[in-house]
Amino acid sequence: MPVTLASSSQGIRNTYRRAQEALRKDNADYAVDLFLSMLELEPELAEVRKELRDLQVSLTRGKKANPMAGMKGMGKSMAVKGALKKDPAKALVLAEELLKLDLQNQAFLDTYCEAAEAAGVLSAATITLEAVTKLDPKNDKSFEKLGHMLVKAGDASAARKAFERLGELRPGDQHVIKWIKDTSAMDSMQKGGWEEEGSFHSKLKDEEEATALEQAGKSQQNLSDMDKLIITQKRKLEQEPDNLNLYRPLADTMVKAGMLDEALEVLSQADEMTNHADPLIQRGISEITVKIYQHNIAILQEQGDEAGAQEQEAEMNEFLLEDAADKVARYPNDLGFKFEYGEMLFKTGELDQAIAQFQQAQRNPQHRIDALYLMGRCFKAKGQLDIAADQLRKAAEELPVLDDVKMNVIYELGEVLEEQGEMDQSLDYFKQIYAVDIGYKDVSAKIEAGYERAKQNKA
């Protein structure tokens, strides 16, 4: 028996009355929250979900899609994915938060439908997709998704109508023509009452799989090597979903193909499987997240939205700092994470905290020179020039070749000595650079100034 407001608890009915009162007072945001609280208690309450979607459609209509919604919803999307198997009901509640961010975001809608299906509340998906098609009647992806969800829900008549509308948007599409034909047959069976339980669904599923395999075989000829590799890696993962060694290579290939969101989802699944205990997976998630930020920043800059780009850059830096701190807390023995956290602290001016991280990170041979160099810069910024010089000398002594790294170190050391008034010593370091790269920073000017001082002293 379907759940209705009339058959629901007194508490839900009271909340509904409060929602209606909020709407009368033009407090739509509060009404949305009240509707969501009812649906959390009773997910099958279709009439409330439909009223919620109608309200969200009215609030969304006329507004431009939020280009930053995908980034802002990244954490929520990961939370939904993480809860799908363990707690599908919770996943559906979390997925509602995605739709509050942007009802029209296709990735959010896909995640929401996945959560609705996992929770066994297909009406949540169909009601939502119907609302979205009202917002954008030309959104073919929404009609396609709606048709398939209605088939799963067993509503052949509504599914046929959705596919017929899709046919108007994709005239001549053989897949759509077949879906219309199949749902028309299904509708006739249901109305005639002669469908054997499960027989049509099984047939439809088998035919769809056969068609998909046939189309895959044909399309393979037109795929790039990268696409073929991704398909191969996905198939291996489907066959061995518990094999953690398959997740990172697939994510890496997706990143190379520019599929950043998909790569992040793959690693998030692996992270969930390891209970967030694998530092390599954690590092991969961080790297992809930064790439997504950088991609969004580049788009905003191309659009001339400097304010938006700066906002995204600030969010990225905040993410990097919080992420680095989290990794240090989670993996206290990983000196590489301590170095990265120290770098972020140095950039934000937290010098004492940065020094503390670098002092430990220098025990890692891979980061020792950089840790000494940045420690020297920290002490220099604090005005503790003698300690800064000691750190920079250690770094310089351990670098046998005067390459770019060593030039950075001894230039910084020269500047520290210059500030201390040790002009002859500082000039010796600048000369080392000058002898191999006359155009390095302002070293030519420093050399000329040094010789000028020597002339004046002789005079």
Q: What is the CATH number of the domain that holds 67?
A: 1.25.40.10
Q: Per the domain annotation, does 377 fall within a domain?
A: yes
Core vs surface per residue 388-398: b (16+ CB within 10 A) or e: bbbbbbbbbee
Could you tell me the residue range of the domain that residue 58 belongs to?
10-213
CA atoms within 13 A on the CB side of 231: 12
Residue 266 in domain: no
- 441 falls within a domain: yes
Domain boundary pick from 213, 228, 259: 213
Whether 45 maps to a domain, the answer reads: yes
Over residues 210-242, the pLDDT tens digits come to 554 444 444 444 456 788 888 889 889 889 988
Rg (CA), the chain: 31
Task: List, in order, residues 6 or more apart from 18 with CB less than 8 Å away.
Answer: 34
| Structure confidence at residue 274 (pLDDT) | 87
128 belongs to a structural domain = yes
Q: What is the pLDDT of residue 276?
A: 82
DSSP code string of 382-420: TT-HHHHHHHHHHHHHT--S-SHHHHHHHHHHHHHHHHH
User: Last residue of a domain, which of 176, 193, 213?
Assistant: 213
Mean pLDDT in consecutive groups of 10 residues from the start of the chain, 459 residues = 78 90 89 91 91 89 64 73 85 89 86 91 92 88 91 88 91 88 80 48 50 46 72 90 90 88 89 85 89 87 87 89 90 92 94 96 94 96 96 94 93 95 93 94 93 83
In a domain, 306, yes or no: no
Predicted pLDDT of residue 300? 84
Structure tokens at 348: 């934000």
Identify the pLDDT of residue 459. 65
pLDDT tens readout for residues 308-348: 889 888 888 888 999 899 889 988 999 999 999 999 999 99
DSSP string, 141-183: HHHHHHHHHHHHHT-HHHHHHHHHHHHHHSTT-HHHHHHHHHH
d(CA 384, CA 176): 73
For residue 349, with 0-12 CB atoms within 10 Å meaning exposed, 13-18 middle and 19 or more buried, which class applies? Answer: exposed
pLDDT at 2: 65
Does residue 5 belong to any structural domain of this protein?
A: no
Same domain, 57 and 198: yes
Q: Are residues 207 and 345 in the same domain?
A: no
How many domains does the structure of the chain reveal? 2
In a domain, 271, yes or no: no
Compute the distance between CA of residue 355 and CA of residue 78 in angstroms, rounded to an integer: 34
Domain end residue (candidates: 170, 193, 213): 213
Check residue 219 and report its DSSP letter.
H
pLDDT on residue 71: 63
pLDDT of residue 217: 47
45 secondary structure, DSSP code: -
Model confidence, pTM: 0.51
Using CA atoms, how far residue 396 sits from 393, 408, 409, 411, 433, in Å, is: 5, 9, 6, 10, 13
